[in-house]
Amino acid sequence: MFRRLGLVLPPLLTLLVVTVPATAASRPVVVAHRGASADAPENTLSALALASRFGADMVEVDVRETRDHALVLMHDTTLTRTTDAESVFPRRAPWRVADFTLAEIRRLDAGSWFGRAGRGQRVPTLREALRAMSGSGLGLLLEIKEPRLYPGIEARVAGELRRAPSWPAAGRLVVQSFDWGSMRRFARLMPSPAIGLLGTPSAADLPALAGFAGQVNPPYQDVTPEYVRLVHRHGMRVFAWAVDDPGDIQRMISGGVDGVITNRPAVARSVLQDDASRRAA
């Protein structure tokens, strides 16, 4: 639980993550992009905790690998945008995640760039994030970033997830990447999580991809009702990213998506509630 890690929060909302067939979603799942990243430093434990408070169903996190093969939450190839690596290690340009050990990365501040309230946040490991989320009711959408840079990362992610067996068993876990070949390899290593493919596959590609993937997750600008129906016909779900504007969120709902990936989960939850009220009236 987040409280065990020293994060002082109001009682967590009781959340329900429903696993439904691709063609029968009653409402889209709200996925907090890098946690509640509009209101907390992305990919930190505070962003995950805030996602829970804001009513997200799932959180999306980005995973990369350190020089000593630790799995850490970090979106960028380098540490410069979201940590103080340049000042702590001034001679280590270009500050690639893969060039630092976990012990070195633990020295970095991963929150001050976001504002004073984020000061002192650290880069969490995947294991720490899984432990923090345990019991929160949140599902997890785990993106493996640029797997070509970290040969064998699929096996190491699978191994970490096996050490947290409640995740694959609960049906609340999706592993995704822009690298569809990596996701095919991951599916062979660990068939229990759903596999997500980032991007917008062509109609011709969908039959083969449906053989190992359960989701197609395109940028929201590419989403049309016709494309959603096409993906659904192949038995896969559609999670659109990263959509923050209420009008765009409503368009995704009307278009039949199964999930909205957003930096503002509280806004998405409000739009969903308004939409449900209109349908019930």
| Residues labelled catalytic | 33, 75
Catalogue the long-range contacts made by 88-93 (C-beta closer than 8 Å, 24 or more residues apart). none
Distance of CA 27 to the CA centre of its chain: 19
Burial code of 196-217, b = ≥16 C-beta within 10 A, e = fewer? bbbeebeeeebeebbebbbbbb
Query: Which residue has tokens 């449900």?
Result: 276
Amino acid symbol at 135: G
Instruction: Give yes or no for a contact between 172 and 58, defined as CB atoms under 8 angstroms apart.
Output: yes
Helices (H), 61-133: 85-88, 102-105, 126-133
Helices (H), the chain: 45-53, 85-88, 102-105, 126-133, 153-162, 166-170, 180-189, 206-209, 225-233, 246-254, 265-280
Q: How does DSSP classify residue 124? A: -
Distance CA 225, CA 78 (A): 37
CB within 8 Å of 12: residues ≥ 6 apart? 1, 2, 52, 53, 136, 137
Distance CA 107, CA 123 (A): 9
Pairing of strands 237-240, 259-262: parallel
